[in-house]
Amino acid sequence: MGFLPMTRREMEEQGIRQLDFVYISGDAYVDHPSFGTAIITRLLQSRGYTVGIIAQPDWRDDASIREFGEPRLGFLVSAGNMDSMVNHYTVSKKRRSTDAYSPGGKMGLRPDRAVIVYGNLIRRTYKHTPVILGGIEASLRRLAHYDYWSDQVKRSVLLDSGADLISYGMGERSIIEIAEALESGLSVRDLTYIPGTVCRTGSLENIPDPIVLPDYETVRSDKRAYAESFWKQYQNTDPFTANVMVEPYGNQGYIVQNPPAKPLSQQEMDDVYDLPYMRTWHPSYDAAGGVPAISEIKFSLTSNRGCFGGCNFCALTFHQGRIVQTRSHESILKEAKAMTQEKDFKGYIHDVGGPTADFRHPSCNKQLTKGVCTNRQCLFPEPCRNLDADHSDYVALLRKLRALPKVKKVFIRSGIRFDYVLADKKDVFLKELVQYHISGQLRVAPEHVADEVLRRMGKPKHRIYEAFLKKFDECNRRYGKEQYAVPYLMSSHPGCSLKEAVEMAEYLRDLKYTPEQVQDFYPTPSTLSTCMYYTGLDPRDMKPVYVPKNPHEKAMQRALLQYRSPENYTLVKEALIKAGRQDLIGYGPKCLLHPARQSADAKKLTVSDRSKITDRRMPKKKRTIRNVHKKKGRNS
């Protein structure tokens, strides 16, 4: 079938006089179902609509948006697979040097706050054409939200972009309903009723029994009001139980959020992944070496979406929701067989998963009819008594994939929930995971070791992770495997003071492990942890939370997790003194630092001596697990 048109010439070659929709994307055009642009455009095409793609338009040139002329039904706008600000900046707000979603990894081909800039770019030329925002940037900024990069509470992007609608979450259902309504002749201003959308209205008279949130001016100036508003939003993310919410904006009217769209059935998921994707980048990028992001997913399989894990620093609750949706074995096997025919397939399927690999069904039977609980989590603080912890379907799928001709190994890289593995009493999955699906290291995400910090994260207590490690090690011994669990750890999360950071350093000392990389908490829009970061309150109980915001303290917390690195000596020493833990400065087996002075000569001596001590404390076999942190990817 070929790629969708990217130029007027390609449009005319396909016999199209006027497109129904023009899709504006902050990413380069990659026609693969791991990219939202591909899914939405191919889905519209399957329903008979014509769609053209303007990928990474030059936002400084109004002509860049006029490539196809005015679409018949509307413009669709997305920042791409990532929030543009996260794409551009590290947690320390430094500009990144590469962009994996751009040709050749080139940085600077999309603007900051892309959906706002693109929306205004369109509006300057097309005053009345419907503009619909989608993708994760618009989804997580659909109501008033804390913006880390400006340290302000920003308005809904619907207002600042000049757009008419936001299709939030996973947009397959809402985009088709929008398209059909526009095709029927309805004005975009009348589309106030579609699940999974956010719109603007001047009056509430036609909205029955809405939840009225605090107005924008109040949440902008009152942190407690912001936390209360956020918690109401967080409790209204389920498609079966959520109510319509409205956010007042003074004389500009109201922003209206309709309940989320219903989850896709397995057949509907299969249909989405069976669309005629080209499964690669547009050939116009060949000269630049293609689009780097595809390397991570080209030989990976998406088996599910949604997550009931409930990590507070993750935006999945707001974007994909807590109800797990899956593809059938037949759909996944069909894609895998096609994958094995690729000329550069080497026999390795890199991943079979989604937000969390081992979630292959809703957490309990009632969710597909009654929705998820608003007052409790499925796994936190303990697994719910109604939790259906069963890996049988996932194990059966993995066995079928392993049996395919040309497949040498099937890896699991999306990550697993170790507490969910423990809750499954059959142990079959853990045994097969150890035997067939790991290559030396298993990436897991305990995130921290201090229970108070874990509580703020929405993660299980540290003893649960220790219990998993014990079972994992026993399983490896049983099958004669030499494999290690590699922990992902986070510094500076709300609730973590220097005391808890030192506790994690002591854990790493006892583990004889030094992480190559450490992730600082990144306050991205619309996560519960970000609400804590901004307000200093836990919205679940409105109690104060300690928040490390000072850049120097954050640097000390990060340095503690890599205390063996000579360049961190001064920061680690200062942190230990401030935490009242001078007992960890000395020459004893439990000490983190030598008390050496930091003169140039002493520093050289310290580096040499500490290197020898590091080698003695960390056997060669375990030192090798540091290398895994050079790879990308993480999971909650």
Rounded mean pLDDT, 340-365:
94
CB 213 within 8 A of CB 199: no
Per-residue model confidence (pLDDT) at position 604: 45
Rounded mean pLDDT, 217-233:
97
How far lies 16's CA from each of 12, 13, 38, 126, 184, in Å?
5, 8, 19, 20, 21
Query: pLDDT digit string (tens) for 120-166?
Result: 999 999 999 999 999 999 999 999 999 999 999 999 999 999 999 99
- Gap between the Cα atoms of 370 and 322, Å rounded: 13
Q: Which helix (H) or strand (E) holds 227?
A: helix 223-234
- Gap between the Cα atoms of 481 and 473, Å rounded: 9
| 249 vs 602 pLDDT, higher one | 249
Confidence of residue 317 (pLDDT cuts 50, 70, 90): confident
User: Average model confidence (pLDDT) for the chain?
Assistant: 92
Per-residue model confidence (pLDDT) at position 342: 93
Query: How buried is 164 (Cβ within 10 angstroms: 0-12 exposed, 13-18 middle, 19+ buried)?
Result: buried
Q: Which helix (H) or strand (E) holds 331?
A: helix 329-340
Q: Which of 78, 211, 180, 76 is nearest to 139 (CA)?
A: 78
Per-residue model confidence (pLDDT) at position 622: 43
Query: pLDDT digit string (tens) for 411-468?
Result: 998 889 999 999 999 999 999 999 999 988 998 999 999 999 999 999 999 999 999 9
Rounded mean pLDDT, 33-52:
97
Q: Which of 542, 564, 540 is nearest to 616 (CA)?
A: 564
Per-domain boundaries in the chain: 8-200+252-257, 278-630
Torsion of CA 304, 409, 398, 472, to 10 degrees: -90
Number of H helices, E strands in the chain: 24, 22
Query: pLDDT digit string (tens) for 177-220?
Result: 999 999 999 999 999 999 999 999 999 998 989 999 999 999 99
Per-residue model confidence (pLDDT) at position 596: 72
Per-residue model confidence (pLDDT) at position 602: 41
Least confident of 474-488, 568-582, 604-618: 604-618
Indicate if the pLDDT at residue 247 is higher than 80.
Answer: yes
Phi, psi dihedral angles at 133 (to 5 degrees): -90, 150
Indicate if the pLDDT at residue 44 is higher than 50.
Answer: yes
Rounded mean pLDDT, 223-242:
96
Q: Which of 556, 541, 411 is nearest to 498 (CA)?
A: 556
- Gap between the Cα atoms of 184 and 163, Å rounded: 20
Residue 211 CB contacts under 8 Å (≥ 6 apart), including other chains: 232, 236, 243, 244, 245, 246
How far lies 470's CA from each of 217, 437, 474, in Å?
52, 19, 6
Per-residue model confidence (pLDDT) at position 626: 37
Token pair for residue 514?
Answer: 């030094």
Query: pLDDT digit string (tens) for 372-423?
Result: 998 889 999 999 999 999 999 999 999 999 999 999 999 998 889 999 999 9
Least confident of 43-52, 316-325, 426-435: 316-325
Correct CATH for 8-200+252-257 of 3.40.50.280, 3.10.560.10, 3.40.1080.10, 3.90.79.10? 3.40.50.280
Residue 166 CB contacts under 8 Å (≥ 6 apart), including other chains: 132, 133, 134, 138, 139, 142, 156, 157, 158, 197, 198, 199
Q: Which of 150, 133, 71 is nearest to 525 (CA)?
A: 150
Q: Which of 203, 181, 183, 184 is nearest to 193 (CA)?
A: 181
The C-alpha R_g of the chain, in whole angstroms, comes to: 25
pLDDT > 70 in the chain, percent? 94
What is the CATH number assigned to the segment(s) 278-630?
Answer: 3.80.30.20
Indicate if the pLDDT at residue 625 is higher than 60.
Answer: no
Per-residue model confidence (pLDDT) at position 55: 98
Rounded mean pLDDT, 350-354:
95
Q: Which helix (H) or strand (E) holds 54?
A: strand 51-55
Per-residue model confidence (pLDDT) at position 607: 43
Rounded mean pLDDT, 257-281:
97
How many residues comprise the chain?
Answer: 636
Query: How buried is 270 (Cβ within 10 angstroms: 0-12 exposed, 13-18 middle, 19+ buried)?
Result: middle
Q: pTM (2 decimals)?
A: 0.91
Query: pLDDT digit string (tens) for 586-595?
Result: 999 999 999 8
CA angle 299, 632, 347 (to 5 degrees): 25
What is the separation of C-alpha 55 from the centre of its chain, rounded to a whole number of angstroms? 22
Q: Which of 188, 169, 168 is nearest to 178 (CA)?
A: 188
Per-residue model confidence (pLDDT) at position 597: 53
Cβ neighbours around 521 below 10 Å, total: 25
- Gap between the Cα atoms of 80 and 288, Å rounded: 19
